[in-house]
Amino acid sequence: MAALETQEIQPREAKGQVVKLDRGFPLVRFEDGSTVRCEHATDLVKEGDSRAVIGDFVRVVWPDTHDKAIIAQIYPRHNAFVRRDPAERTISQTLAANFDVIIVAQPLPELNVKRLERELVLAHETGAQVAVALTKVDMAESQALITQVREDVEARVGASVQVIGLSCVDDSGLDQLRALIPAGTTAVLIGKSGAGKSSLVNMLMGHEVQETGAVRENDRRGRHTTVSREIIQLPWGGSIVDMPGVRGLGMWEAEEGIGAAFPDIEELASRCKFVDCKHGSEPGCAVLAALEQGLISQQRLDSYRNLMSETQMVRDRKERARWQKQGRGRKKSR
C-alpha cells in the first residue's frame, strides 16, 4: 500500500493597505472594505527598519497555527516621507508611504520660517506634489499682515507650490484645499502640534472626526490632540492622513529636496562660474552677487548652507558606520 502523501496546508493571504497606526497593532484595510489588526512577521521585526508605516501596501497571511493575522511582506513603496531618526544619527525613520500630495500646515499668525523650510525640503524629497496651508487666518491682527505673510511665503516656495490661506471660522480656502485631493488621491498633512491640522480635516469632512483641543480664552490657541496616524476617507473619494505633530525634522539624503525648497538659490547657483561652487568666497559666484544686491537675504542663504551641511554630515556618518560595520564583519570571519 502506497504511503499517504501529506500536503502542507497553505495559509490564507490577501493584499491590503495599512490605514491606521496607533498604540495597538497596525490596522489593514482590504479591497472589499474589511479591516483587520495585524502583527508583523518575526523577520520584519528583527530587521528593525522594515516595519510597515501608514499607507504601506502589505501581504497579510492567516497561518493556521497563529491566532492573529500577520504582515508577512511590505510591497515596494512608490514614495515615502522620511526624516533622520531623532534617536539615531545614522538611521532614517519613515513616517508615511504611497501618497500623492503633501500639505504643510503653518499657522499664519505664528509663521516659523526655519521650520517651514525644513518641512518643504522633506516634502519635496518625496517627489509628491507639495502645497502650503496657512492656517488660522482669522486670528491674524490685520489684513495687511495676512497679505504680507502670504506674499513672503509665495516668494520663498516658488511657483510649483500652491499656498492657501485657511480659516475654520468662515471656511475660506476650503474649495482650494479640496481641489488638491481629488478622488483616488491621498494627501499627507504635516505640521507642528497645534498648527490646526485636525481642524482642517474636520473642515474637509464637513463634521468633526478629529478631536481638537479646547481653545484657550487668552490667546484663542488650541492644543493638538492627534496621537495616531490614520488614512481618513473624504466624502468625494480622496483621502488624507493627519500626522501627529512632528518635532524633529532632521535631514536625510535631502539634496533634491533642498534644491526644490530653495528654487531662488538653485536658479542663481546655475549661473555661478564654477559648477562645484560652495557660495562661500569663490570668484564669479552668482549667489553671493545676489546677496550683495539684496536679491536674497543672509538668513535665507544661511538656512540653505546649514541644511546642505547637515545633509552632508548625515552622509559622512552613514559612510563611517558602514566602514565600521564592514570592519567588525572582517574580524568575525577570521
pLDDT at residue 155, rounded to an integer: 85
Q: Is the dihedral of CA 124, 130, 134, 136 positive or negative?
A: negative
Which of 238, 173, 160, 161 is closest to 200 using CA atoms? 173
- CA 56 from chain centre, in angstroms, equals 14
C-alpha to C-alpha distances, 177 to 143, 184, 276, 298, nearest whole angstrom: 21, 15, 40, 33
- Distance CA(318)–CA(247), nearest Å, equals 23
* H or E element at residue 143: helix 143-157
Q: Which residues 6+ apart lie within 8 Å of 22 measured at CB?
A: 227, 228, 229, 230
* H or E element at residue 28: strand 27-30
DSSP state of 121: H
Which of 67, 77, 74 is closest to 188 using CA atoms? 77
Q: Which residues 6+ apart lie within 8 Å of 141 measured at CB?
A: 109
User: Quick check: helix, strand or coil at residue 161?
Assistant: coil
- Distance CA(196)–CA(221), nearest Å, equals 9
The set of cell numbers assigned to 304 is 540653505
Summarize pLDDT for 93-110 with one digit per residue, the tens. Answer: 888 999 999 999 999 999
Q: In the chain, count of helices (H) and strands (E)?
A: 9, 13
pLDDT at residue 147, rounded to an integer: 94
Which pLDDT tens digits describe the chain residue by residue (334 residues)?
444 444 444 468 999 999 999 877 899 999 999 999 999 887 776 555 578 999 999 999 998 887 889 999 999 999 999 887 666 666 778 889 999 999 999 999 999 998 898 899 989 999 999 999 999 999 999 999 999 999 999 988 888 899 999 998 888 899 999 999 999 999 999 998 888 898 899 999 987 776 665 444 444 444 445 567 899 999 999 999 988 766 666 666 778 888 888 989 989 999 999 988 888 888 999 999 999 999 998 988 998 888 888 888 877 777 776 676 666 665 565 5
How many residues are present in the chain?
Answer: 334
C-alpha to C-alpha distances, 265 to 79, 245, 247, nearest whole angstrom: 26, 29, 26
pLDDT at residue 2, rounded to an integer: 43
Q: Are 19 and 228 in contact (CB under 8 A)?
A: no
Q: Are 188 and 94 in contact (CB under 8 A)?
A: no
User: Quick check: helix, strand or coil at residue 116?
Assistant: helix
Q: What angle separates helix 143-157 from helix 113-125, to the nearest 10 degrees?
A: 40
Phi and psi at residue 78, to the nearest 5°: -85, -15
Q: Among the residues of 158-210, which ranges form H helices?
A: 174-179, 197-205
- Distance CA(143)–CA(129), nearest Å, equals 29
- Distance CA(234)–CA(178), nearest Å, equals 9
